[in-house]
Structure 1
Amino acid sequence: MMLLTTPPRPLIPRMKIAVIAPARYPIREPYAGGLEAFCHTLVRALRDQGHTVDLYAARGSHGHVPDVELPGVEWGELAREATDTGYPPGARELEDAAFARLREYLATQDYDIIHNNSLHPALFTPGNRLPLVTTLHTPALPEVQSAIAVAGAAAGRFAAVSEATAGAWELQAPVTIVPNGVDVTRWLPGPGGQSAVWFGRIVPEKGLHLAMDAARLAGMSLEFAGRVGDRRYFESEIVPRMASMDATYRGELDHRDLNDLVRRCAVCLVTPRWEEPFGLVAKADDVAGLARALRIAAGVDRSVVRQWVIAHHSLTATAARYAELYSEVLAR
C-alpha cells in the first residue's frame, strides 16, 4: 500500500532581509493597528527561522534601525483633528524626504531581500535595482498605482494578503497570495465568558458603533479596546452609546493584555464598513443580522476554531511562505 505524505517545504537558505514598515506610527506595542502588528510579528518570526532581519520604521519603534528612521506623524496642538489618513501641515513633506533618503541608503547595503510594507511611491522608481518585494495590504492607492506603472519591472515582486486585494491592483506580473498569520504560541485559548469583545482602530470604517448596537440588541455586554484614531467619531458615536448600554472601554492594550481580554469573552465582533484587505466577515450596517450571528457564534466550539487557525493561518506558516517567496526572487 502506497502512503501519501505532504512534501516537505524546500530548504530555505538564511538571508539578510530589510523589512520596511509604514511610516505613520511607531512599530511597538500597543500596536497602532493591524499593519504595525504584522510588521513586528513577521520580523520576529523570520528571526526565529534563522534569518537576519533589520526593521526600518518610524521614530519610537522597538527593534528598528535608529540611524535611518522614518519621522512618523505628529499632530501636536491639532490632536483633535487627527485621522489615520491625513497629515498636519508639513508632515507629508517630511515623510516623502525620509523615504527618498531610505531608498538611497538601501541601495548602498547588501540585503538579499527588501520587504516593503509601506506602499510609499518613492520606493517605486524606473531603474530601481533594489531586490524589492512589496506586500499589498490595502486596496489600490492612486499615487502608488501610478508609481508602480511608471517603474514597470523595476517595481519588483508583489504579494497580497488576499485574492480580493490583489485584484484591486493593476500589476504586470502575477501576485503571490500570502494570508496573514496569527502567533498561536502567544494567542492562547481561554475559558470564554458572558461579554462580547471588539478590538481594533477606533475609526468610522471599523464600525465599532455597529458592534455596540448589535451587542445591545442581542442583550450582551461589550468590552472593547483599541487606539482612538478619530477623536470626533469617538466623541460623537461611541461615548453616547457607552452611556446607554453596558459597554466598557479598556483602552490601548498590548498583545498580552488583549489576549487576556479576548480569552475571557464569549464572542468577538468584527465590523468592517470598508473592503477589508484580509478577513471580510460581515455585511456592512446589518445590525439585526449581526445580532443574530452574535448569538450563534457564541455557541461555536472554541477549540475547533483554534485548530482551524493553527492549520491554515499560523504566523510560522506565514513567515515560511514569505521566505519561499524571497528565495524565488533571489533565484532569478
Structure 2
Amino acid sequence: MTAPWSLLVVSTPVGTLGSGAGGGVELTLESLVAGLLGRGHQLTVLAAEGSRLSSSCQAARLWTAAGVDQPSWQHQLRDAPVQIPAAGLLPAIWQQVHARQGQFDAVLNLAYDWLPFWLTPLLRTPLFHLVSMGSVATVMDEVIEAVALSDLRRLAFHSRAQASDFRLPAPPLVVGNGFDLSAYSFRERPDPEPLLGWAGRIAPEKGLEDAAAVAASLGERLLVWGVREDPTYAAAVEASVPSGTIEWRGFLPTSALQAELGRCRLLLNTPKWNEAFGNVVVEAMACGVPVVAYARGGPGELIVPGVTGVLVPPDDVAALTLAARGAAGLERSACRRWVERHASREAFAERIETWIQEGLRPA
C-alpha cells in the first residue's frame, strides 16, 4: 500500500492530552502526528475526553472517549493481573477503534496496555504499536512477545536497551524519538547560571531524591519540572535536603520549559528503572544543556560521554555528584548538534513512515 495513508493514532488512557499525565507519550504523540502530517498523511487522534491538540497538530482530527483513567503499569507489581476499572477509558477507546477501523489504512497505538496488544490479530485494519516502556509486568511481557512472534513488524521501540527487556525472535526496529527543534532555542551562554535542572513525573521510579542530594552537596539550586504524581514522595524528597535546594516549577508547556531549562548549566537524569528513551535528555541537549545521567536504559544511548554529557554507574550518587562538579567544560553547541543530527521531528516521522510501509506489505 503506497503512501499517503489515513492513520488513526491512539493515545494513552492514563490521562488527557495536554495535562502531562501521560508523560513522554504526550510529547511523542505530538511529534509523530505533526511529522506525519508534514509528510502528507491524514491523521486522526483518539484520546481521553478533554484532550487538546497542540497548534502543530491542528490539521489532525481529534476524537475523544469518556471513561475512568486506566492505572499505569509503572505502579503495579510485577505479577499483577490486568486491571480495568468500571466504566474504564481503555475499553471505551478500543470500542471506538473497533467500530471505526474501516476508515483507516492503519492504526498506531501509543498506549502501554494489555488490551490493544491482545487485539492485534483480531482487528481487520493493521495495528502497529510504538512500545513506550520496558518490561514492568509479566502479563505485559507475554502479550508483547506474542505480537512479536506473530509479526515483529507490528512493533517498534524507542531504544535498544528498552527492546532488550523482551524476548524477541529477531532484532527489533528502534525508531528513537523526534522533536520540533524550532521550539527549543539555543544560545551559547558561555557562563550559564549556576543552576541544575531535573524534569519528569514526580514519582519514585524517576529518582528525584538522588538529584536533590547532588544539588545539596554542591550547594546549588535544583529546578524541578513535572507533574507531582506522588505528592507524598515529593514532600519526602524536599524534606531530605536543606530548605531552598529545590525550586518546584510545575508542569510547563514546551515553550516555557525550554526557556527555563536553557538557563541551567546541567540537567541531572536519575531513573531508577529502565527508561525506554529519555525525552528530557534530548530536550535539554536541544537547548544546549549537557546531561549527567545514570547509565541505565535509553539515556545511556543518547549521551555521548565527554561530548554531550557524562554517564555514571546507576544509583551511584557520589559518582553523580563528582560528574556534576566536573562537567563545566562540556561544549553546549555539541549538545545541540547531536540533537539536530539524530532527533529531529522530520527524521522521526520518516522512520515511522518506513516502519508502517514495511508492516503493510504482505508477510
TM range, normalised to the smaller chain?
A: 0.7 to 0.9
Q: SS at the partner of 1:115?
A: strand
Please name the residue that 1:267 is paired with: 266
Please name the residue that 2:249 is paired with: 250
TM-superposition CA deviations, 1:206-265 (whole Å, max 9, x none): 111110110121232211111001121012222x14653432111121111100111111
What aligned pairs does 1:192-203 form with structure 2 within 5 A after superposition?
Answer: 192-203=192-203
Tell me, yes or no, if the aligned pair for 1:84 and 1:229 is still in contact at 8 Å: no
Partner residue of 1:128 out of 123, 128, 140 = 123
Matches of 1:43 and 1:228 in 2, distance apart?
A: 27
Q: Relative to 1, partners in 2 of residues 1:72 and 1:155: Cα closer, same or farther, differing over 3 Å?
A: farther
Matches of 1:153 and 1:83 in 2, distance apart?
A: 24
In structure 2, runs of 5+ residues without a counterpart are 54-59, 77-82, 278-298, 301-310
Q: Relative to 1, partners in 2 of residues 1:267 and 1:187: Cα closer, same or farther, differing over 3 Å?
A: same
Aligned residues: CA RMSD:
2.8
Tell me, yes or no, if the aligned pair for 1:23 and 1:70 is still in contact at 8 Å: no
TM-superposition CA deviations, 1:167-209 (whole Å, max 9, x none): 2123445421101223211112133322111111111111111
Deviation at 1:145, TM superposition (A): 3.1
Q: SS at the partner of 1:176?
A: coil
Partner residue of 1:40 out of 14, 30, 36 = 30
Partner residue of 2:327 out of 288, 297, 303 = 297
Q: SS at the partner of 1:91?
A: coil
Please name the residue that 1:176 is paired with: 173
Please name the residue that 1:79 is paired with: none
Letter in 1 for 2:230: D
Q: SS at the partner of 2:273?
A: coil
Tell me, yes or no, if the aligned pair for 2:203 and 2:229 is still in contact at 8 Å: yes
Give the TM-score normalised by structure 1. Answer: 0.83
Matches of 1:274 and 1:84 in 2, distance apart?
A: 10
Matches of 1:28 and 1:264 in 2, distance apart?
A: 24
Residue 110 of structure 2 is aligned to residue 117 of structure 1: yes
Deviation at 1:310, TM superposition (A): 0.7
Please name the residue that 2:296 is paired with: none
Deviation at 1:28, TM superposition (A): 1.4
Q: Relative to 1, partners in 2 of residues 1:85 and 1:54: Cα closer, same or farther, differing over 3 Å?
A: farther
Matches of 2:127 and 2:9 in 1, distance apart?
A: 10
Matches of 2:73 and 2:33 in 1, distance apart?
A: 27
Matches of 2:23 and 2:61 in 1, distance apart?
A: 21
Tell me, yes or no, if the aligned pair for 1:113 and 1:133 is still in contact at 8 Å: yes
Q: Relative to 1, partners in 2 of residues 1:99 and 1:143: Cα closer, same or farther, differing over 3 Å?
A: farther
Matches of 1:101 and 1:32 in 2, distance apart?
A: 21
TM-superposition CA deviations, 1:102-152 (whole Å, max 9, x none): 342243x23122111113222223443331111122113422333345565
Partner residue of 2:336 out of 291, 306, 325 = 306
Q: SS at the partner of 1:325?
A: helix
Please name the residue that 2:15 is paired with: 25
Please name the residue that 1:73 is paired with: 69
Residue 141 of structure 2 is aligned to residue 145 of structure 1: yes
Please name the residue that 2:223 is paired with: 223
Tell me, yes or no, if the aligned pair for 1:27 and 1:39 is still in contact at 8 Å: no
Partner residue of 1:15 out of 5, 10, 24 = 5
Larger RCO (CA within 8 A; separation ≥ 6) = 1
Matches of 1:83 and 1:244 in 2, distance apart?
A: 33
Q: Relative to 1, partners in 2 of residues 1:173 and 1:284: Cα closer, same or farther, differing over 3 Å?
A: closer
Residue 84 of structure 2 is aligned to residue 54 of structure 1: no
Q: Relative to 1, partners in 2 of residues 1:318 and 1:183: Cα closer, same or farther, differing over 3 Å?
A: same
Q: SS at the partner of 2:48?
A: coil
In structure 1, runs of 5+ residues without a counterpart are 1-11, 76-81
Tell me, yes or no, if the aligned pair for 1:27 and 1:40 is still in contact at 8 Å: no
Tell me, yes or no, if the aligned pair for 2:44 and 2:63 is still in contact at 8 Å: no
Matches of 1:249 and 1:153 in 2, distance apart?
A: 46
Please name the residue that 2:209 is paired with: 209
Matches of 2:224 and 2:255 in 1, distance apart?
A: 15
Q: Which moved more, 1:26-35 or 1:300-309?
A: 26-35
Q: SS at the partner of 1:177?
A: coil
Percent identity over paired residues: 27
Tell me, yes or no, if the aligned pair for 1:202 and 1:226 is still in contact at 8 Å: yes
Q: SS at the partner of 2:123?
A: coil
TM-superposition CA deviations, 1:55-82 (whole Å, max 9, x none): 111222113866542535299xxxxxx9
Tell me, yes or no, if the aligned pair for 2:223 and 2:246 is still in contact at 8 Å: yes
